[in-house]
Structure 1
Amino acid sequence: MYIGNVGIFVKDLKGARRFFESYFGARLLKSYNEPENNYYSDILELDHGAWLELMTKPEIVDQPKDPNRSGIAHVCFKADTRQQLDDIVARFKKDGYKIQYEPSNPTGIGEVRAVTFEDIVVEVNYTPAD
């Protein structure tokens, strides 16, 4: 078994799509538009076949979110190289996202967790192949 997709409700569907396209190379697979239900969704594909489903409705409540809330804690992306991870950390900082942590060690292993677009907590990690 494997996870087919992760669904995330957002207020700004286009902005969320741009975020995941820009940071993680996501590609739009399909969009669902159901105006009669006020439901709109973009299915994005990432490398290695993982999908993200970004969804919106006008009645979505977007209250402040504590990163330590119950429910799904974060979405984790695996970087292909340490340089790719370092580049994302630099972009998160440049774009003003709140970094929760970014531990590293001399072996090259590293990760970052940040509160990003619409308070979505994103983790990116890199582990070199043995």
Structure 2
Amino acid sequence: MKIEHLAIWVADLEATRRFYETYFGAQSNDRYHNPRKQFSSYFLSFTDGCRLELMHRPDIQALSDKAGQEYRGIIHFAVSVGSEAKVDALTERLRADGYTVIGEPRRTGDGYYESVVLDPESNRIEITV
């Protein structure tokens, strides 16, 4: 078995799609839109692994307005970039472009080398080897 895709409700569908295309090499399908339900989405594919579905509907409320706050449920997903140098470089590129780094590159107690950044919707992304 494998996880086929994860889904995230977002306020700004286009900005979030561009973020994952620009920084993580995602390839997007054409936008799906259901006018009756006021629902739009994109499926983003990566070189390997599961896909990411970005979804928007105007009535969906934010979970929390405190970026970086802990809560129950899915709290982050990790993207493997292949090396410690790439973790460092992508983290610095995101910082320079104005994105929030909430975890500096480091070796964790369980042996991972990672940083943690927030996407445009304040979702946590671990950038790891």
Query: How does the TM-score come out when normalised to structure 2?
Result: 0.85
The number of residues matched between the two structures is 123
Measure how far apart 1:54 and its partner are: 0.1
Measure how far apart 1:67 and its partner are: 2.9
Q: Partners in 2 of 1:30 and 1:80 — Cα distance?
A: 28
State whether residues 43 and 52 of structure 1, in contact with CA within 8 Å, keep that contact through their aligned partners in structure 2.
yes
State whether residues 67 and 73 of structure 1, in contact with CA within 8 Å, keep that contact through their aligned partners in structure 2.
no
Q: Partners in 2 of 1:120 and 1:57 — Cα distance?
A: 17
In terms of fraction of residues, the more helix-rich structure is 1
Alignment partner for residue 126 of structure 2, among 117, 120, 123?
123
Q: Is 36-45 or 112-121 further displaced after alignment? A: 112-121
Q: Partners in 2 of 1:100 and 1:84 — Cα distance?
A: 15
Say if 2:74 is the partner of 1:72: yes
- Aligned-pair identity (%): 28
Say if 2:128 is the partner of 1:112: no
Q: Is 96-105 or 29-38 further displaced after alignment? A: 96-105
Q: Partners in 2 of 1:90 and 1:42 — Cα distance?
A: 27
Q: Partners in 2 of 1:31 and 1:22 — Cα distance?
A: 17
Q: Partners in 2 of 1:68 and 1:44 — Cα distance?
A: 26
Measure how far apart 1:102 and its partner are: 2.3
Deviation per residue, 1:42-74 (Å, 9 max, x gap)? 001011142100000011213404531111010
Q: Partners in 2 of 1:71 and 1:91 — Cα distance?
A: 29
Off by >3 Å, runs of 4+ in structure 1:
none
Query: How does the TM-score come out when normalised to structure 1?
Result: 0.85
Query: 1:9: which partner in 2?
Result: 9
Which blocks of at least 5 consecutive residues in structure 2 are unaligned? none
Measure how far apart 1:30 and its partner are: 3.8
